[in-house]
Structure 1
Amino acid sequence: MEQKTISIEVREKAGKGVARKLRAQGRVPGVVYGKGIEPVAISLDEKEMLEAIAGEGGCNVLFTLQGGESLNGVTAMVADVQRPSLRLGLTHVDLHKVSLTDKVRVHVPVAIVGTAAGVREGGLLDVVMHALDVECLPTAIPERIDVDVTDLALGHAIHVGEIALPAGVKVLDDPKASVVSILGRAKEEAPASAEG
C-alpha cells in the first residue's frame, strides 16, 4: 500500500460554528488519536482527502501527516469518515495513528476476476461478501483481494478459506463462509409430448 502525504492544521477551537467556517473554506474538521498521543483536533483540505481515499485502497490508505509540531511525520489511517446527507463531500474525518511495525485490522474489498463456468451455463453469480476483514502490517494492506471465479460451476461456491492471500495477510472472517456462489440449476430437457 502506498503512503501519501497530507497537510493538516491543528485546531485550537471546536464547535459547530468553527466547523461551519472550516467547511466554507473547503476544509474538513477532524481528529487524530492513537497509541501514545492525546487526541488532537485538526483540519485538512477536503478535496485533497477525497482524492486520497477515492482510489482502490479507499480508506485503507496510509498517510504521513505534514503540519502541526506534535503530528509532523506521524503515520495515520482513516478510522472514520462522516459524509453529508445531501451533497458529496466530507463533514468530519477521524485519523488513527499507526505504527508500521504493529499489525492492524482492516476491511479489504473483494474483486471478482473472470467469467464463471456456471454463468456461461445460465447460472447467476451471487457475491455474498464484498469485503474481507484482514490483519496485517500497515505496509502489507492489499488494495483488493482477487477471487478468480473462472472454474466456478453451477451450485458451487468459493469460501473464505479457499482464497489465496498475499504474504503476511491473515483473514479474520469464518473460513467456511461463502464469498461468491453460482445460483441456478442446469436446464432440464423438455418432456417429450405424448402421442395420441
Structure 2
Amino acid sequence: MATILKAAPRNEMKGSTLTTIRSAGWIPAVVYGKEYGNKPVQVEEIDFIKTYRAEGKTGVFSLDVEGEKTDVMIYDIQYDMMKNQYVHIDFYAANMKEEMDADVPVNVVGEAQGVKDGGVLQQGVFELSVRALPKELPDSIDVNVEELEVNDSIFVKDLKSGADFEFNNDPEEMVVSIVPPTDEPEEETAEEEEGAEPELVAGEEGEEENMEE
C-alpha cells in the first residue's frame, strides 16, 4: 500500500500565522508542479516525520489534500537547528511518466584498505544528480571503498548507473579518494630549546658594545 500523507489547505501567509501553525504541531508547506500549479498547505509534523523516514527525499508518495490525492516528492526541507523544528517543506507534484532530475545522497560503504594503512579518505561530493522516472529514483548512491588503496580514487564514470537511471554529473568528477597522511612538523624538544642561544636584538647588542668600552 502506497504511503499517504494528509495535508490541509493553508490560506494565511503572514509570519505570525506561520508561527502559530508551527506551535500547534504543523509544518507550513507548498505543493507545486508544471501541471499542478502552486498550492500552500500544512502537514502534521509527526505524520511528516514518519513519511520522511519511510520514503526518504526521493521517494514518491501520495499527498492527500481534502480527499484530492497527488503523487509528490520532497523537494526541499527547511529545518531550524537552533529550535529543533521543521520550518517549511516543498513538495513537488511529479509527472510519473516523465523523467526528472534529483539530487541523491552519496553513501560511503565499508572501510578502505588505504585508511587502514594510514591514509585519509576524502569525499569530493555528497550528492549526485540523477535522471530517471520518479518511481525509479534511488534513495542513495552506495559507493564501496573497501578495496581502495592510498592514492586510489573513484570517479563518477566508475559508478555503475542502475538500469533505470543515469548520472548527470561530469564523468571525471571525483567522488572519493584516499590520500597519503600529511606529515606534521616535529615540535622542538625542551632540550633543544634550553641549548639554543638567545638572539640579541639591536638595542641589546648596542648596550654590550658600550659596556666593553
TM over 0.5: yes
| Whole-angstrom CA distance in 2 between matches of 1:3 and 1:161 | 34
Question: Which residue in the other structure is 1:192 paired with?
Answer: none
| Whole-angstrom CA distance in 2 between matches of 1:125 and 1:105 | 28
Match of 2:170 among 171, 174, 191: 174
Instruction: Please give the per-residue CA displacement for 1:19-40, whole angstroms capped at 9, x wherever unaligned.
Output: 1221121011111111122311
Question: Which residue in the other structure is 1:160 paired with?
Answer: 156
Alignment of 1:23-38 (within 5 A): 23-38=22-37
| Whole-angstrom CA distance in 1 between matches of 2:110 and 2:77 | 32
| Whole-angstrom CA distance in 1 between matches of 2:30 and 2:177 | 41
Q: Which has the larger radius of gyration?
A: 2
Instruction: Please give the per-residue CA displacement for 1:61-112, whole angstroms capped at 9, x wherever unaligned.
Output: 222011235xx22111122222225211211112111011111211111122
| Whole-angstrom CA distance in 2 between matches of 1:53 and 1:88 | 16
| Whole-angstrom CA distance in 2 between matches of 1:81 and 1:113 | 26
Q: Does 1:106 align with 2:105?
A: no
One-letter amino acid of the counterpart of residue 58, structure 1: G
Alignment of 1:1-196 (within 5 A): 3-54=2-53, 58-68=56-66, 72-184=68-180
TM-score (norm 1): 0.84
Instruction: Please give the per-residue CA displacement for 1:93-142, whole angstroms capped at 9, x wherever unaligned.
Output: 12111011111211111122222222232211112212211111111111
Instruction: Please give the per-residue CA displacement for 1:32-56, whole angstroms capped at 9, x wherever unaligned.
Output: 111122311111101221232246x
**How big is the shift at 1:13?**
2.7
Percent identity reads 27
Checking the alignment, whether the CA contact within 8 Å between 1:52 and 1:61 is kept in structure 2 is no
Checking the alignment, whether the CA contact within 8 Å between 1:46 and 1:89 is kept in structure 2 is no
Aligned residue for 2:85, secondary structure, equals: coil
Between Structure 1 and Structure 2, which shows a larger proportion of helix residues? Answer: 2
**How big is the shift at 1:180?**
0.7
| Whole-angstrom CA distance in 1 between matches of 2:44 and 2:30 | 13
Checking the alignment, whether the CA contact within 8 Å between 2:103 and 2:128 is kept in structure 1 is yes
Checking the alignment, whether the CA contact within 8 Å between 1:155 and 1:182 is kept in structure 2 is yes
**How big is the shift at 1:157?**
0.4
One-letter amino acid of the counterpart of residue 137, structure 1: L
One-letter amino acid of the counterpart of residue 92, structure 2: H
**How big is the shift at 1:159?**
0.5
> How well do the aligned residues superpose, as a CA RMSD in angstroms?
2.1
Gaps of 5+ in 2: 182-213
| Whole-angstrom CA distance in 2 between matches of 1:94 and 1:171 | 24
Higher RCO (C-alpha 8 Å, min separation 6): 1
TM-score (norm 2): 0.78
Gaps of 5+ in 1: 186-196
Question: Which residue in the other structure is 2:189 paired with?
Answer: none
